[in-house]
């Protein structure tokens, strides 16, 4: 299932989207199992809550030694065709094993 989750292999980034929370939990765990020392979880808008859920579930249920190394929030602009640019909040959670 984790193959379907969008991610950037180089920087070990998991982008939170519309899939269920556990799909992203699995994606994060897979990154760590493949040797990553840190994984960055990114989300925008309403999926921000899911990003926090994913971090907490990985930390509390799967990787007890995990540390939340940094959390950053920001505002991003989404440009879509035919519509005015829309501002949306974003979060980046950096997890370290």
- By the criterion CB under 8 A, which residues form the site for a copy of itself? 45-49, 52-53, 55-56, 60, 68, 71-75, 89-91, 93
Q: At its nearest, how many Å lie between a copy of itself and the CB of residue 72? A: 8
Q: At its nearest, how many Å lie between a copy of itself and the CB of residue 82? A: 24
- Of the two residues 29 and 34, which places its CB atom closer to a copy of itself in the complex? 29
Q: At its nearest, how many Å lie between a copy of itself and the CB of residue 94? A: 11
Residue 25, both tokens: 């939990």
Return d(Cα 41, Cα 24) in angstroms, integer.
9
**Residue labelled with tokens 């960055």:** 40
DSSP E strand stretches across the chain: 7-8, 13-15, 38-44, 67-78, 86-96
**Count of CA atoms in the C-beta half-sphere (13 A) of 20:** 5
- Of the two residues 9 and 29, which places its CB atom closer to a copy of itself in the complex? 29
């Amino acid at each position: 299932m984790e193959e379907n989750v969008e991610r950037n292999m180089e920087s070990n980034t998991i982008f939170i989207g519309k899939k269920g929370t556990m799909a992203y939990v699995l994606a994060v765990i897979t990154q760590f199992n493949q040797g990553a020392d840190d994984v960055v979880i990114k989300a925008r808008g309403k999926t921000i809550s899911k990003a926090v859920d994913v971090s907490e579930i990985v930390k509390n249920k799967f990787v007890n030694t995990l540390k939340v190394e940094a959390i950053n929030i920001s505002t991003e602009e989404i440009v879509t065709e035919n519509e005015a640019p829309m501002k949306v909040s974003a979060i980046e959670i950096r997890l370290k094993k």
